[in-house]
């Protein structure tokens, strides 16, 4: 299919999560909804009917024990049990408070306090957090271990067998608060984003209108982030079979087992994939052959001949052999990677979103895209550029039923981002072309404004520097009126550290010669450790950028907040 506009895919409308789970269980009871590994060899499959029944049983247990209108914190790694617990919580009129498994004990205590959660569900792997919370809160909270959910399911099943229809009779308001997600923390203090089922389902149905999600997918992003959980909802509604990756460390080992058609990732994954492919080609002496094959394949595509699945079988087999689409969001992606993977036979569908918008605002489509953009607004999403400059660049604002209910117990911060007309101000800068494709140019907070009045987007320079083979990670910022690039060299690059640093410096000098003088990188700083990241693999810029460090709250604040809960 040529790269041009084509009709949106039809999507069955759903109004709440209860309806979604019941509908899939009734229509496709024996289709596999989830797959996951137990150990290294045993795979478990759970059908749509199984999943609905498990959620219904846990929901029955909660209601039988009068757990309703409560805020329940979920602190655990991705798992099938996590999903059962989440949907049981929100489908019984409770609110799920989603806290990353990677949070420190003090951070978790702060978020529990901040959200008013009085029931805590943790996994065995997060027992250190549970113990810390018990020490701080004692009997003020109730605690459950996620691994014991099978006993809860059985108890709920027995209640249903006795005619208890608590879950079936329960009602939920799709427009009411159902989940509290915390902003990623890439810029510092996390705020509790309040989302309803309506918010989340608007982007689910809008995403599926843009691309056909049927098939198999692999889930690797944390469910405690809206992008990760939203992806589950999208593919569940599409009736895809979802493979739950056991951990990031096991991703490359499990992807040949999962054999997904789709994966949903952030750019860091794709950058790593690319470097691994080319490093392997160099080691085996196949780099020139691979580049020649890509050029030949692209030429054939122009005349309608597609041999990519055959020509690049060795590359595709690394991803299970069946992968054809990568959904990418969460940060900017270098457009040359879109072209590269398309040459291999994998379409990267780049989108744009933010937690406060549940989370997707715009996306490209598999057969209608513009490389370097994040696509067009989803159906039902209003999108415009606020106060554009002469180049058409301004703040991205959006309006619609996807916009959050607000920040939890923080009306001041809510009023700062949602204006009187309902427009949510994203804090991101961008521009729209004549066909409505959105290009992200940077963040308002990270924009470098030089003394001569020129504006420099650090994200643009990070993209350029990131293309240097020996660069693993990079953050660009202003340091004492100069543009600085802080670099963590690629640990797998050939040569000694001194040789690697010398090559990077030489490439940056070469890069500067291609840029206007005001964009020149004047300082290069090399680090020994990779940048600190959020659980969704975003670099915590405020930990690096001098100006942002000063603007952020003191690091002692979370501990003080936790202490306040005991008073």
Q: Which two tokens stand for residue 487?
A: 């670099």
HEC states along 329-366? CCCCCCHHHHHHHHHHCCEEEEEEECHHHCCEEEECEC
Q: Half-sphere exposure (CA, 13 Å, Cβ side) for 228?
A: 24
Whole-model pTM: value is 0.85
**Sheet architecture: strand order including 438-443:** 382-386, 394-399, 424-432, 438-443
Rounded CA separation 518/466 (Å): 19
What is the tally of helices (H) and strands (E) in the chain?
20, 25
* 249 close to 311: Cβ distance less than 8 angstroms: no
Given this model, what pLDDT does residue 451 score? Answer: 61
Buried b (16+ CB within 10 A) or exposed e, 305-330: eeebeebbeebbeebbebbbbbbbbb
Given this model, what pLDDT does residue 41 score? Answer: 82
The CATH architecture to which 448-551 belongs is: 2-Layer Sandwich (3.30)
Rounded CA separation 97/111 (Å): 9
Residues 6 or more apart in contact with residue 311 via CB below 8 angstroms: 293, 296, 297
Q: Half-sphere exposure (CA, 13 Å, Cβ side) for 205?
A: 20
Residues 6 or more apart in contact with residue 365 via CB below 8 angstroms: 6, 210, 211, 349, 375
Given this model, what pLDDT does residue 452 score? Answer: 61
DSSP β-bridge partners for residue 363: 351, 376
Given this model, what pLDDT does residue 566 score? Answer: 31
Give kind and range of the element (H or E) at residue 270: helix 267-283
Given this model, what pLDDT does residue 565 score? Answer: 34
C-alpha closest to that of 54 among 96, 91, 88: 88
To which CATH superfamily is domain 262-440 assigned? ANL, N-terminal domain (3.40.50.12780)
Q: pLDDT tens digit string along 477-495?
A: 988 878 999 999 998 888 9
Given this model, what pLDDT does residue 453 score? Answer: 62
Given this model, what pLDDT does residue 541 score? Answer: 78
Q: pLDDT tens digit string along 7-37?
A: 999 999 999 999 999 999 999 999 999 999 9
The yes-or-no answer to whether 47-172 and 448-551 have a common fold is no
Given this model, what pLDDT does residue 184 score? Answer: 61
Radius of gyration of the chain (CA): 24
Fold of 47-172: Rossmann fold (3.40.50)
C-alpha closest to that of 186 among 227, 238, 129, 125: 227
Q: Give the start-to-end residue ranges of the domains of the chain.
A: 47-172, 262-440, 448-551
DSSP 8-state code for residue 541: G
Q: pLDDT tens digit string along 415-444?
A: 999 999 999 999 999 999 999 999 998 887
The residue ranges of the chain whose pLDDT is under 70 are: 184-188, 451-454, 536, 547-567
DSSP β-bridge partners for residue 264: 327
């Amino acid at each position: 299919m040529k790269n041009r506009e084509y009709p949106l895919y039809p999507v069955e409308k759903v109004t709440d999560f209860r309806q979604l789970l019941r509908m899939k269980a009734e229509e496709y009871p024996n289709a596999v909804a989830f797959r996951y590994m137990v150990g290294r060899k045993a795979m478990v499959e759970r059908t749509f009917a199984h999943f609905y029944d498990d959620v219904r049983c846990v929901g029955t247990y909660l209601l039988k024990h009068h757990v309703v209108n409560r805020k329940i914190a979920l602190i655990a790694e991705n798992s099938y049990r996590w999903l059962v617990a989440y949907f049981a919580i929100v489908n019984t009129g409770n609110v799920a408070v989603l806290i990353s498994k990677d949070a420190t004990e003090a951070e978790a205590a702060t978020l529990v306090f901040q959200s008013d959660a009085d029931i805590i569900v943790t996994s065995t792997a997060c027992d250190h957090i549970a113990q810390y919370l018990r020490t701080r809160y004692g009997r003020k909270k109730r605690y459950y271990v996620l691994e014991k959910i099978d006993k809860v399911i059985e108890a709920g099943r027995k209640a249903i067998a006795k005619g208890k229809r608590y879950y079936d009779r329960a009602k939920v308001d799709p427009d009411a608060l159902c989940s509290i997600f915390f902003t990623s923390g890439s810029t510092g203090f996390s705020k509790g984003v309040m989302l309803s089922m309506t918010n989340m389902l608007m982007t689910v149905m809008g995403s599926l209108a843009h691309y056909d999600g049927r098939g198999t997918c692999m889930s690797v992003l944390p469910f405690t982030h809206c992008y990760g959980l939203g992806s589950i909802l999208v593919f569940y509604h599409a009736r895809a079979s979802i493979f739950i990756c056991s951990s990031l460390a096991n991703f490359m080992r499990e992807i040949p087992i999962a054999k997904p058609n789709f994966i949903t990732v952030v750019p860091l994954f794709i950058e790593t994939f690319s470097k691994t492919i080319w490093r392997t080609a160099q080691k085996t002496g196949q780099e020139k052959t691979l580049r020649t094959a890509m050029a030949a394949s692209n030429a054939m595509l122009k005349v309608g001949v597609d041999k990519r699945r055959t020509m690049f079988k060795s590359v595709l087999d690394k991803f299970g052999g069946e992968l054809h689409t990568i959904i990418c969001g969460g940060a900017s992606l270098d457009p040359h990677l879109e072209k590269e993977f398309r040459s291999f036979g994998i379409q990267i569908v780049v989108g744009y979103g933010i937690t406060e918008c549940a989370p997707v605002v715009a996306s490209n489509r598999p057969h209608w895209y513009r490389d370097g953009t994040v696509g067009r607004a989803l159906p039902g999403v209003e999108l415009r550029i606020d106060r554009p400059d002469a180049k058409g660049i301004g703040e991205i604002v959006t309006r619609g039923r996807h916009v959050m209910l607000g920040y939890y117990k923080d009306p001041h911060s809510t009023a700062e981002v949602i204006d009187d007309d309902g427009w949510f101000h994203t804090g991101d800068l961008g521009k729209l072309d004549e066909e409505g494709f959105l290009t992200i140019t940077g963040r308002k907070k990270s924009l470098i404004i030089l003394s001569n009045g020129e504006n420099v987007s650090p994200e643009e320079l990070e993209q350029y520097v990131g293309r240097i083979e020996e660069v693993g990670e990079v953050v660009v910022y202003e340091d004492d009126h100069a543009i600085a690039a802080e670099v963590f060299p690629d640990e797998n690059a050939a040569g000694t550290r001194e040789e690697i640093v010398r090559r990077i410096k030489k490439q940056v000098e070469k890069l500067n010669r291609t840029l206007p003088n005001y964009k020149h990188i004047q300082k290069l700083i090399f680090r020994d450790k990779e940048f600190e990241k959020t659980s969704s693999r975003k670099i915590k810029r405020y930990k690096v950028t001098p100006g942002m460090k000063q603007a952020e709250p003191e690091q002692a604040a979370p501990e003080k907040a936790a202490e306040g809960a005991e008073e």
